[in-house]
Chain A
Amino acid sequence: MRVNPLVAFLFNMILPIGLMFPGNHYQHYFFLSVASIILLITSKLVRLMKFAAAYGIFFGLSILADYYPNYGGQFFLIFIVYSMQFIPCLMMASLLIKDYSAGEIISSLEPLRLPKSFVVSLTILLRYIPTFRREFSYIKEAMRLRNVPYTIRRPVKSFEFFLVPQLFRCAILAEEITSAGLVKGITNPVRRSSYYDMRMGAVDYILCLILILGLVVFIWWR
């Protein structure tokens, strides 16, 4: 089963709004649960387990930081807690990046009548992320072959050498992907159709309702 990309977009808009109204620690578990349920109903079990493992590590680190507040624990605790808050966002982002084509994402956003330039820019960003991962591996290989450091023991130098090719590749690819979209009529102002059925279903509406109601409840109940 698939959920509509709009559900993932709505989730990633609602969670940051919810974070602006802290005061109820059930809020975080609510968003975590909804994100986990979405991954479950879309049969992404392996991915859910990976996120669960990552969450477990952060949770362990938060307990450790809490036990040792005088050894920098207080500083790291804030960072760790905020990172944990955004894990549900990453879960939804993984759906958008891995499970939908650029065409499906643009089609799902069509009913919102957003400006074309915004939709196209957002889609190019999502389209670029899997390409970035591949390019990252090519650059790492090239660095190894050139005897250029890429090691955690020399983070600044590693980052400096990695940044140059990555930034320029980013600019080149952005132009190429944009050109590819332009010659295929991506800026056409007519209402876009979809080869795939991107209509919201009952499950999508229920999930949206749960998210909105959840936000209202946690803003009010603090």
Chain B
Amino acid sequence: MVAISTDRYTFRYDNKKTAALTDCSFKIMAGEIVLVAGDSGSGKSTLMKSINGLIGETVEGHLDGKLHINNRDMTDLPIYEKSREIGSVFQNPRSQFFTLNSTSEMVFAMENYGFSKGDMDDSLKRIGRELPIGDIMDREILTLSSGERQLLALASAMVLNPGILVFDEPSANLDYSNAMKLKKIILKLKAMGKTVIVADHRFFYLNGILDKVLLLEKGALTCFHREADFKGSDYDTRSFNLFNMDLPCRRERCRKLAEPRGSNALKEGEQPEDVAVLSGVGKWNVLNDVNLALKSGEIAVLVGANGAGKTTLARILTGSLKPDRGTVSTRRLPFYVMQDSDFQLFGTSVESELSIGNKTIQPSEKEKILKRLNLWEYRHAHPFDLSGGEKQRLQIAVAALSKTDLIILDEPTSGLDLKSMGRVVGEVEALAEEKAVLIISHDYEFIRRVADRIIYLKEGRVINDFAFDEKNIESLNNIFIDMEEENEQES
């Protein structure tokens, strides 16, 4: 049976001249697992919003063509009719919940459709048999881990027993182990007869389980009827096989450079300076006895499972938190680029953003950095009009111009496509010419490309800390496998 089909489906946003989706025609059969792939701006989110019905409700534009769900024409149906057939799991764990209590969230949709209390209880029991929701019942959503929130989002999407489930970039806020857990859940959903559609930039966790791939490029759709066909296409699909990727490490690339670069370039026999030292640091029951020295010119990547204390450690370095035990010393206040850059944009234009908190900056310096980061054409634009990748580059521009000697980046590639991630690698390397960089990341490909040093945080301690090069790739892989095993044991 055909679950979803489109016939020359085209959508153009009201304020845009070109269509986001152009003449898209495809069929998805019931019970298939389908990946929607494509770079940022290719139309993935537009397609997902078309399927789950948000196009027309919160998004205005011009629509042509047909969209059928379970052989029903969805084009003019109200969203509450579509939502009986389609469950949606959004990317952002912070705002995809309508209530703040987990049980309340799970029953919310059933209440909207007038279910009796008995039917709601039966539905919760049914979900409880299919998914491990026992530990997340009746809890405040803000206290849940990102993996638990993902589970709650899925459970909430399944209460109406829809035949189709739509995931919008589910791995953006998940670490490797939770992403692999998601793979098992998706396989379970397929076994239940559900049709699963996943839009994502990263698809390593879908390796070997895809029935179909829809590739979007500037709004035009290509349908691959087999995973193998997609892997054989021109699109970069190396990330299906994470641990076997052929990616040159940063140290290898730097060795090939003729001259050392930047003020951090060391003369022969010179040792890099410490820019931040943590000694015996403990905080709450999250961090215990952390000992760490961060050095100028180094790109250190801090890895660990969700809840290991990475962001807590970063906040201790910036002085936002005081350690309960131990000492922290930094030469200057570090510059911290938060995972969500929206909190850190204060200006009314890209150009004025660079002056905020840094009044001595010269116009020529601003022009140089904006041109280097391909933001010069947007210099008069409002920062909030930029795309995710552009906002990230703006934050990096602000960091580059800051007077600090340590920059901390928290998940800088979250939600970015491979091309944008590659640009971030180059920009971080440029930052390291003048400053020390500490990155918190669970993005394996990014870590492989950018790291000089890996710091593994587990059970509140640094249990592994090594210089990263091609000889140590296996050590990095072992860390990711260790995190996956730890996660499985906990569940």
Contact = CB atoms under 8 A, between A and B. Distances in A.
Interface size class of A (residues with CB under 8 A): 35 or more
A112 interface: no
Interface string A149-191: 0000000000001001100110011011111111111111111
Given A142-B338, A175-B58, A185-B80, A148 B384 contact: no
B95 A141 contact: no
Interface stretch (A8-16, A44-52, A78-86, A101-109): A101-109
B346 interface: yes
Contact of A180 (B95, B346, B347, B348): B95
A148 B357 contact: yes
A106 B111 CA distance: 10
B293 interface: no
Given A145-B335, A165-B344, A183-B79, A193 B114 contact: yes
A66 interface: no
A147 B83 CA distance: 46
Name which of A127, A141, A190 has the most chain B CB atoms within 10 A of its CB: A141
Contact of B357 (A103, A146, A187): A146
B418 to A, nearest CB: 25
Interface string A109-151: 0000000000000000001001100110011011111111000
Interface string B67-106: 0000000000011100110111010101111111101100
A199 interface: no
Contacts of B340: 138
A84 to B, nearest CB: 31
Contact of A164 (B79, B104, B107, B348): B348
Given A161-B356, A165-B344, A183 B111 contact: no
A42 interface: no
B109 interface: yes
Contact of B358 (A102, A143, A147, A180): A147
B356 A146 contact: yes
A59 to B, nearest CB: 34
B284 interface: no
B382 to A, nearest CB: 9
Contacts, number: 153
A188 B90 contact: no
Given A138-B338, A142-B344, A195-B117, A180 B96 contact: yes
A114 to B, nearest CB: 15
A127 B98 contact: yes
A7 B318 CA distance: 46
A151 to B, nearest CB: 14
Interface residues of B, number: 59
A164 B347 contact: yes
Contacts of A74: none
A208 B320 CA distance: 46
A79 B92 CA distance: 42
A101 B101 contact: yes
Interface in B104-136: 104, 107-117, 120
A180 B112 CA distance: 13
Contacts of A127: 98-100
27 contacts: A101-B99, A101-B104, A102-B99, A103-B107, A103-B108, A104-B104, A131-B95, A141-B320, A141-B343, A145-B320, A145-B333, A146-B344, A165-B343, A179-B58, A182-B54, A182-B58, A183-B86, A184-B112, A184-B156, A185-B113, A186-B80, A187-B79, A188-B113, A193-B110, A193-B120, A195-B103, A195-B110
Given A165-B344, A176-B96, 19 more contacts: A103-B99, A103-B104, A127-B100, A141-B320, A143-B346, A145-B333, A145-B335, A146-B346, A146-B356, A146-B357, A169-B342, A177-B95, A179-B57, A182-B83, A185-B109, A185-B112, A188-B80, A189-B80, A194-B111
Nearest 6 A-B pairs (CB), nearest first?
A176-B95, A147-B357, A185-B112, A184-B109, A188-B80, A101-B104
